[in-house]
Structure 1
């Protein structure tokens, strides 16, 4: 008997110390987790998604649960202070708020599940129901209904003395107790079932969209779908984690209830009773904290994260660091999964954690491409169209770098000057062909001075319009005469600094890869435009790039095609990018060739005409 009492005393002491010292720690960790989640989901790039609205509401409720329910548990079991017996009003409010936030937490998860099911549907009309108006309406109406549903707790719950000098907050109404028991039983069964059903529907929608690509109702909708895909996948993963945690911990409730029903007529020892109480209380505390940290960071990656920041010279504020770290970890998982499949031969290229690994797909596209898609998609207004000669025998491999036509890779920074770099790159090659001198031409000259022709500086532009400006201006300055600043400014062209002139421009027949191949082989480096709005392009490292979701018409980046070739039976275009030598293959990318004009590389290709020397 003495050993059993010692065991009971040990459990009671352990519970007391855990709640005294660990309770405050759990509240802090849980609250910080919820607050950080609220900051993340409130960021501009995420809050545009209706699912983020549900997650914001969900984390607000969780924060309330942690601060109220966990604090009361800590005071009760750590310091023997029962806050619910202070007054009838506080007792009723605690009882009422406990039921409301408990059901709202699961209700918001269900709404998020429904939203993911809607947004992944192949039916465009169904996808339209995933919007902010529906989200706010469901949250407001649902919250009001939940509060009305549990208003009896504000009337029928009182402080009751169950034994002398021992008071509890409870209801002495048999009808209300029966109602709450049936309600809890229904909730435990119905809510996880609904979550599982909606998530299965979401997964089926995703699998269906992989087999047959979703057809948007308009080009604009299609572009939004491309940009939002990565963000939607991230939200679906977060939702799955939260639902899994919710189901695992809540499945304990019916298990415990079933166990209590089985042993209700059996005599159990005090030690067993104490152990049951201890485990139940700890389950509640851990559950609330785990839910709040569903988007928490992987501490095992701290060393890798710090090394990546140092290598790429990245510095953040405390709040931004958490956000960037989450994005970085998400991208790391994509890179690891993709590269594993590439090693197995499923893909023809590999990804890497380059300097853009802390950006979402949307952020990267906006920072590097701006509104360039709107300009590059305009009609090609070149003076001439390239005429093919089908009888000409083309070489199997071309690389104009080996012949001195191409300058080193440039880093455009955060100015959308890729169009200017593509234009000057092609002109530098043609000028070299005519004079034998490779000059570095000023892209800043084009950024600042070609607005009249339709270009928009660091917002975006088009090579054909750049050639038009150079022709009308009687030349373009060299880089030395007009250095790059990475921002739009007033025009400061100097006639004495001219490095090259243009007499006109020639466009390659749109979407004709054979014509582009002949031009690259016989003319020199050609300015091209592609669809680069994919994480696979953002994080490209090496290999022959192949993106099945690439568009032929949604072009957002100007590049320079400097050659072509074949690698292990895979035809490719050799293309110079303008994001520095840390990106891709020393600043270059090999893009799939002869695959239905993939990524639109032959849709808007052109080169300048220069005077004969």
Structure 2
């Protein structure tokens, strides 16, 4: 895959030399870089690592400026992290060359559903509140599938849904861990808009009515295509009987649900630059907005790290993002970013 676009019949070799010389010169002059970590060679490595392709030299330079700016921000933030002034570390990832206006539509559309559309969690979910474990990780119980990557498609609404469904297929149905098909939701949920976004609530409703295929039968392609649900066996998979919603007043209530019932899907502000740059630690940022819900993920546990309480969250940006595809989001911090405001739980039709 080429690193740069060749224009007319000029050789790529000459263009590469010109671009690399220019980038190196800009870095040497200190136009963009603050530290040795932000060098032209690092940008070239970034392009190769993430298979980046740009449409023109103008876009190349524009993306380079964005990369250098983000690199500087990350470097300065991590200096504060090393001094104990920040609770999380940032890192270079696939979003390092993004523009400000690309931060970032990941797929969850503004909700239009009635807040009372789904059943509330029954009171007997909370009968064990006096025996709360201090730490929960459903991965260790074999109830969480490997991290996936939604790629260049605003389909987080499908991934947050399947993450919860996959876990409860094990917990409620006592079946083996099974990857379910985001593509079947992408192609067939007519109330959502494929790679242009959707609603986690609509995805659950689709599964309740039509079922969902297995990933092996209906694999993910990163683009919306014609619906093949009937051919790919959506109805063969057990349907969910109902969708439970939670809009909690206290984070302790969500802890009880996660501890005694299992992982949940939720929606979060995924547009904040620091969220895109997360690498490890307990994430907390003052500009994360409680009422902005642009990204769907799954809470699969909770715990405490270096005195900081956190929610253990599975993302859909690949294994190389964050902490091997996961993020620890601040817990017991005044409902940070509205984490308890919109929770979804699937309940399968269990045969007795």
Name the TM-score class by shorter chain. 0.7 to 0.9
What is the match of residue 144 of structure 2? 406
Distance 1:557 1:297 in 2: 31
1:85-100 alignment runs, 5 A limit: none
Check conservation: 2:238, 2:349, Cα contact below 8 A: no
What is the match of residue 552 of structure 1? 290
1:215-364 alignment runs, 5 A limit: 296=31, 301-316=39-54, 317-364=56-103
Check conservation: 1:361, 1:538, Cα contact below 8 A: no
Distance 1:348 1:455 in 2: 36
* Structure 1 residue 296: Cα displacement: 4.8
What is the match of residue 428 of structure 1? 166
Instruction: Say which structure is richer in helix.
Output: 1
- Relative contact order, CA 8 A, sep 6+: which one is greater? 2
Distance 2:209 2:119 in 1: 13
Task: Note if 1:488 corresponds to 2:224.
Answer: yes
Cα deviations by residue, 1:422-462 (Å, 9 ceiling, x for unpaired): 111111111111223111111111112222xx322222222
How many residue pairs get aligned? The number is 316
Check conservation: 1:441, 1:499, Cα contact below 8 A: no
Cα deviations by residue, 1:369-404 (Å, 9 ceiling, x for unpaired): 4xx241388736223334333744110000000111
Distance 2:338 2:32 in 1: 38
Instruction: Say which structure is richer in strand.
Output: 2
Of the three residues 256, 265, 273, the one matched with 1:527 is: 265
What is the match of residue 393 of structure 1? 131
Of the three residues 110, 117, 132, the one matched with 1:381 is: 117
Local SS of the residue matching 1:596:
coil
Unaligned runs of 5+ in 1: 1-35, 37-289
Task: Note if 1:610 corresponds to 2:345.
Answer: no
Local SS of the residue matching 1:375:
coil
* Structure 1 residue 527: Cα displacement: 0.3
Cα deviations by residue, 1:546-583 (Å, 9 ceiling, x for unpaired): 11121111111000100000011110000000011111
Distance 1:380 1:447 in 2: 25
Distance 1:540 1:596 in 2: 21
Distance 1:436 1:588 in 2: 24
Local SS of the residue matching 1:365:
coil
Cα deviations by residue, 1:259-296 (Å, 9 ceiling, x for unpaired): xxxxxxxxxxxxxxxxxxxxxxxxxxxxxxx9xxx995
Cα deviations by residue, 1:580-613 (Å, 9 ceiling, x for unpaired): 1111000100000011111121111111110224
Unaligned runs of 5+ in 2: 1-21
Local SS of the residue matching 1:315:
coil
Of the three residues 278, 295, 313, the one matched with 1:540 is: 278
Task: Note if 1:455 corresponds to 2:178.
Answer: no
Distance 1:380 1:532 in 2: 25
What is the match of residue 325 of structure 2? 587
Distance 2:122 2:205 in 1: 17
Check conservation: 2:33, 2:69, Cα contact below 8 A: no
Check conservation: 1:377, 1:555, Cα contact below 8 A: no
1:102-141 alignment runs, 5 A limit: none
With over 3 angstroms needed to count, the CA separation of the structure-2 counterparts of 1:331 and 1:607, relative to structure 1, is same
Distance 1:502 1:389 in 2: 24
Local SS of the residue matching 1:457:
coil
Check conservation: 2:166, 2:178, Cα contact below 8 A: yes
Check conservation: 2:270, 2:294, Cα contact below 8 A: yes
What is the match of residue 365 of structure 1? 104
Local SS of the residue matching 1:446:
helix
Check conservation: 1:385, 1:509, Cα contact below 8 A: no
With over 3 angstroms needed to count, the CA separation of the structure-2 counterparts of 1:321 and 1:511, relative to structure 1, is farther
Distance 1:376 1:322 in 2: 40
What is the match of residue 7 of structure 2? none
Q: Following TM superposition, where does structure 1 have runs of at least 4 consecutive aligned residues deviating by more than 6 angstroms?
A: none
Cα deviations by residue, 1:195-219 (Å, 9 ceiling, x for unpaired): xxxxxxxxxxxxxxxxxxxxxxxxx
What is the match of residue 577 of structure 1? 315
With over 3 angstroms needed to count, the CA separation of the structure-2 counterparts of 1:560 and 1:483, relative to structure 1, is same
With over 3 angstroms needed to count, the CA separation of the structure-2 counterparts of 1:511 and 1:419, relative to structure 1, is farther
